[in-house]
Amino acid sequence: MSYLSISGVTKQFGETVVVDNFNLDIEKGEFVSFLGPSGCGKTTTLRMVAGFETPTSGKILLDGADITDKAPNQRNVGMIFQSYALFPNMTVAQNIGFGLRVRREPDAVVKQRVEEMISLINLEKHANKYPYQLSGGQQQRVSLARALAIHPQVLLLDEPLSALDAKIRISLRAEIRAIQKKLGITAIFVTHDQEEALSISDRIVVMNAGLMEQVGTPFEIYNFPTTVFVANFVGSLNNAPAEVIEPSRGLISIDGVQFESAVDLNQRRKGDKVRVAIRPERLSFASEQKKANVVDAIIENITFLGSVVRIQVKIGNTKFNMDTFNNPFLELPKIGSTEQVTCSREAVLVLDE
Ligand code: ATP
């Protein structure tokens, strides 16, 4: 049996369904992200696990115990918020020890645990400072330590990195992941940032308008999106309406230009309208003509993005982005020239329109 089980959970506010039949089993020690655009219901789902909201229907089980209707302080979960939510009148050490003192743990136990947590987040020099004397990243590490101090069964993180600048966000997410792995704690992380979810998670739940769109490892979600929404939301993507030409050969046409796909199209019929998706990094200049999917492309624009060079091309009437890694000897084509571009059959994803 899974460690945390969310089954058939629905949440309505008045007439509005904001989470619709959410089902997820999380294993002990797993790091799961809820990823989706603003308003898709990810925070509400997290708050139901924390006990700040009660499901309209459905059940939440933690280590076999039904916690659906338990108050937050009766379930053993730690939560950290985007806004840090530290007590401004308490020092770092007092903030971290707060939950243990509420539980009336002996002073010696509190002291030892606070020391452990301070060393875990490398803030030994700051133990007696107040939150206003710390940077945003340091404050969020204190709130992580405060959440972990009570030995929670589950750690819930609600967009914990959103208020921080880009560099700190990247280093702190690695730190959070390392600490989570070290402690083997089960964690749910809410974010609307796809790169963050891809980099930190064992599994990602992509949500849209209260519904789960897809659940999978970062690799599966990125490489094998099952819906247009997931394909568009996770990573940058070329997608275009297309028509099935010959299902048995995986042949489709994007506005008259034919591509072969490795996707099994046998359930589809000639003439079916579909949507084709190709990641920019899967397109490249063709070095030989014999392969599948070699097509003419007019070079429309070239943008230097640092490690990647993004080349906008027009294939037939459809614009595509093509990404290539930068190197100092890269020979780029001229704008307006026609070049041959290719992608493998596996790169051509075929999704429902
Ligand atoms: P964000 O990233 O913006 O926080 P989210 O995916 O976490 O978005 P939720 O905060 O779960 O989304 O909100 C889902 C929907 O539920 C939104 O339309 C929101 O307005 C609505 N909602 C959330 N809390 C309440 C409430 N207490 N009463 C009424 N509606 C609510």
159-216 residue pLDDT tens:
999 888 888 899 999 999 999 999 999 999 999 999 999 999 999 999 999 999 999 9
Per-residue pLDDT of 311-335, as tens digits, reads 999 999 999 999 999 988 888 899 9
- Residue 265 pLDDT: 92
Backbone conformation region of residue 219, classed left if phi is above 0, alpha if psi is from -120 to 50, else beta:
alpha
Average pLDDT over residues 31-48: 96
- Residue 1 pLDDT: 76
- Residue 47 CA: which ligand 1 atom is closest? 11
What domains are defined for the chain?
A: 4-232 (3.40.50.300), 236-351 (2.40.50.140)
Per-residue pLDDT of 168-180, as tens digits, reads 899 999 999 999 9
State both tokens at 4.
């945390």
pTM above 0.75, yes or no: yes
State both tokens at 209.
């308008």
Measured by CA distance, the residue closest to atom 18 of ligand 1 is 39
Measured by CA distance, the residue closest to atom 27 of ligand 1 is 13
**Is the pLDDT reported for residue 88 higher than 80?**
yes
Measured by CA distance, the residue closest to atom 29 of ligand 1 is 13
Confidence of residue 288 (pLDDT cuts 50, 70, 90): low
Distance 93 CA to ligand 1 centre (A): 33
Tell me the percentage of the chain whose pLDDT exceeds 90.
Answer: 84
Confirm or reject: Cβ of 97 under 6 Å from ligand 1.
no
Distance 216 CA to ligand 1 centre (A): 24
Alpha carbon distance 276, 127 (integer Å):
55
Sheet containing strand 257-260, edge to edge, reads 257-260, 251-254, 238-246, 273-278, 349-352
H/E element holding 245? strand 238-246
Confidence of residue 237 (pLDDT cuts 50, 70, 90): confident
Instruction: Check: CB of residue 279 under 8 Å from CB of residue 235.
Output: yes
- Residue 128 pLDDT: 94
